[in-house]
Homo-oligomer: A and B are copies of this chain.
Amino acid sequence: MALRERILAARGREAPDLVLKHARVVNVLTNEIYPADVAIHEGYVVGIGEYRGPNEIDLAGSHLLPGLIDGHLHVESTMLSAGEFARAVVPHGTTSVVVDPHEIGNVLGAPGIRMLLAATDGLPLNFFVNVPSCVPASEMENGGFVLTASDMEPLLDEPRVVGIAELMNFPGVLAADPTVLAKAELGIRRGVPIDGHAPGVTGKDLCAYVAAGIESDHETTRAEEAEEKLRLGLWLMVREGSTEHNLKELLPVVRRLNARRALFVTDDRAPNDLLDEGHLDHAVRLAIAEGLDPVAAIAMATINPAERFGLKRLGAIVPGYRADLVVADDLQNLRATLVFKDGRIVARDGAPSFRPPRFDYSAALDTVHIGPLDASDLVIPASGARCRVIGVVPRQIITRHLVEEPTVRDGRIVADPARDLLKFAVVERHKATGDVGVGLVKGFGMTAGAIASSVAHDAHNIGVIGADDADMLAAVQAIVEQRGGLAVVRDGAVMARLPLPIGGLMSDLPFEEVAARLEAVEEAASALGCTVWRPFMVLSFLALSVIPALKLTDRGLVDVEAWELVPVGV
Interface residues, chain A, with chain B CB atoms under 8 Å away: 1, 3-4, 6-12, 27, 29-32, 39, 44-49, 173-174, 176, 178, 181, 184-185, 188-189, 191, 203-205, 207-208, 210-215, 227, 230-233, 257-261, 307, 310, 312-313, 316, 318-321
Q: Is the CB of A211 within 8 A of B176?
A: no
B310 touches A207 (CB 8 A): no
Q: Among B173, B261, B319, point to the contact of A232 (Cβ < 8 A).
A: B319
**Cross-chain contact of A233 among B213, B230, B318 (Cβ < 8 A):** B318
Interface pair B174/A211, CB less than 8 Å apart: no
Residue of B nearest to A12 (CB): B204
A210-B319, A257-B31 known; A181 vs B46 contact (CB < 8 Å): no
Given A44-B211, A47-B211, output 17 extra A-B contacts at Cβ < 8 Å: A3-B181, A3-B185, A6-B212, A7-B173, A7-B174, A7-B176, A11-B208, A29-B231, A30-B227, A32-B257, A46-B207, A47-B204, A210-B318, A213-B320, A215-B320, A233-B318, A233-B321
Q: Output the nearest chain B residue to A47 by Cβ-Cβ distance.
A: B207
Report the separation of the CA atoms of residues A197 and B533 in the bound assembly, to the nearest whole angstrom: 56
A-side binding surface: helix, strand, loop or mixed? mixed
Within 8 Å CB of A31, what residues of B? 257-258
Q: Are A207 and B49 in contact (CB under 8 A)?
A: yes
A319 in contact with B207 (CB, 8 Å): yes
Chain B residues near A258 (CB-CB < 8 A): 31, 258
Selected contact of A211 from candidates B6, B188, B191, CB within 8 Å: B6
Determine the residue in chain B with the shortest Cβ distance to A34.
B231
| Cβ–Cβ contact B7 & A208, under 8 A | yes
**A184: which B residues are within 8 A, CB to CB?**
3
Q: Are B174 and A30 in contact (CB under 8 A)?
A: no
CB-based contact A11/B204 at 8 Å: yes
Given A1-B185, A185-B3, A319-B232: A204 and B10 within 8 A (CB)?
yes
